[in-house]
Each structure stands twice: as C-alpha cells, then as structure tokens.
Amino acid sequence: MKFFIDTADVAEIKDLAETGLVDGVTTNPSLIAKSGRKFLDVVKEICAIVDGPVSAEVTALDFETMLREADVLRRLADNVAIKVPLTRDGLKACKRLSSEGTLVNVTLCFSAAQALLAAKAGAAFISPFVGRLDDIGSEGMELISDICEIYANYDFDTEVLVASVRSPMHVLEAARLGADVATVPPGVLRQMYGHPLTDKGLEAFAKDWAKTGQSIL
C-alpha cells in the first residue's frame, strides 16, 4: 500500500518524507486555507520535496474553468496530479485531462456507482471518503470493499485512494481490502509507529544496557 500525506504543511511533509514512507501528498482548499500561504507557492514547494504525485485541486465548478485552472496547476511541476470533484463537469474534465496524459484524482466519492464512472473517465485515482461516511452512520469500509471488487472485475487501472482517514484502523482495514493508497493526516501516520509493548521493550533494553557500562561509540 502507498502512503500519501494529507496536508499542506510543508514542515510536516519534509519531516515525514525523511522516513522514506511518503509516496505522495494530497491537498485541498481547506488544507491550503489552514496553511495561510498562497496556493501555487505551496504546491510548487511540496512537489520539490516529494517525488510522487501531489494532488492539487481545482476550485472551479464548471468544465471550461476547471481546464484552465488545471493548465496552471500542471505547469508547476511534472508530479502534479489534478484533483477534480466527482460531478458531471468534473468527470468531463477528468476524461479530457487523462487523455492528455495528466494524472487525475477524482475526489469526494461517496458511492460505488460514482467510482465506476470515475474509472471509465480515466481517473488515475479515486478518493472515497470513509471518515465522512462513518460520520453519518454509514460503513465507509463497505464502500472501499465494493470499489475494489468492481475495479478488479474489469481490470481498471484507477487506484483506490482511501481518503478522510481518521485512525490507523482505517488504514489497516483499507489494506486488508486491497486499496492501493491511503492518504493520511500526519498525526495518523505517527500513531502507526507506536505500540506500548515496543516502548516497554526499549525501556527494558536501555536499563539492561546501562548496567553493562559499555558504549558502542
């Protein structure tokens, strides 16, 4: 499974990229707003840090303006993936952009039917939002299971990018179901490092090592 980081915080991305675990980055207008910086500057800087896809979202709602915005965004760096909403105009933009060789991430997916349309439109990534479905009493992971099954039936190239991830369990369940990518907030990725038995074991090792009076250096 690939790990994308869901943030526009450049410092966080630099820190996590040093682990070698980061395969890409996703951003959205809300994350850019939190950064307090200019959108294009942030995207360009992130693209210089991460080799993998960096999703930059259009803000227009109509087809023609989406294409104009996408043209600006994909000129920023070779690894920009254009993020479009799962609407009629978004799918039209996806079809046009993907036919030109541009990676497209179709976002705000909440049903398997929507995901099927995105794959047929040539999306490189489909972003189903599991956390938001859980919030309204639906089972977000059931959607991931349905999409993975449908895509396997027809050998679609579209990668299932699990979004709106709230906890390490979301990541693990998505991995069990065969999702291609999980885009996670920095805090969730850091939670995945930890385990109380790991901490306990290290504490015991450190105490025993101190008793030897030795030093490796």
Active centre residues (catalytic)? 83
- C-alpha distances in Å from residue 200, one per residue of 165, 190, 192, 211, 214: 28, 18, 16, 17, 21
Phi, psi of 214 (to 5 degrees): -100, 165
Question: 124 exposed, middle or buried (CB, 10 Å; 0-12, 13-18, 19+)?
Answer: buried
Helix/strand/coil for 132: helix
Phi, psi of 26 (to 5 degrees): -120, 140
Distance CA 15, CA 10 (A): 9
Is residue 61 within 8 Å of residue 89, measured between CB atoms?
Answer: yes
